[in-house]
Structure 1
Amino acid sequence: GTIIKRQAHNNFAGLFYGLSFTKLNRDFTKTVRSKFSPESKLLVVCQEGLRSTAAADALEREGFQNLACITSGLQTLKPGTFETVGKAELQNAGKAGLVTIQGKISIVLGTVLITLLLLITVFPDQAEQIFESAGIKL
């Protein structure tokens, strides 16, 4: 994906660790090892591929060798690629939480927030003038 898309995903959807809703699972590899041997064949997936790629890397460092990872995420799968059970299409299976309720508004809000962050970071003086003209004190 694009740099902006990856940054948006990292900051708002799963790899921006440290916030209460995006904590790294310190027991991840230990938990997987308790359920699967390092010789097991494992498929690691997430919605956009970033979290699953990080998870597959962590498992590989722990000695797992038979790993497969859809690095572009479930979102890139075309309907009918895999046999599924249930009504939901597989490309939506990785969506959870607030994004399933908010839908497209999450994308719009994320874009606005990233744009504001870039504005404040790259053009701090102009950003301050814009905010002051809108009655917002920084």
Structure 2
Amino acid sequence: MASAAFEEIAETFDFLDDWEDRYRHVIELGKALPDMDPALKVPATKVEGCASQVWLLPRIAGTGPAARVDFEGESDAMIVEGLIAILHALYSGLSASEVLTVDAKAELGRLGLNEHLSQQRSNGLAAMVERIRKLAAEAAAG
């Protein structure tokens, strides 16, 4: 189960035949993200396991399984910034319990990312997904 925003990205990817076009689209998605306040780029928001610098700041509304999970994020690498935008679209508007049911690997696989990211980028993407899932699990637990 993915959000409507992610489904829109998946449809765009289906339309783009060439990976270079998809790559450019990922970068454009990242450029559209709002800048994160530099004061929020602290060790607590840094995602370990990424080759580039990545920060994710949770925005949880409510408590328990129905809590809405959101986040803002930023990276010093353009492609990673785009991956953050894709993850934001994937989880946008979902409750904590819904976030935990999303098969991120399968959903991201629909975009063909698995075949086109370096091992380091794939590991970083997995680390970001794990951080989001951890936030959702903590919110769901109350």
TM-score interval, smaller chain: under 0.3
Higher helix share: 2
- Which has the larger Rg? 1
Higher relative contact order (CA 8 A, sep 6+): 2
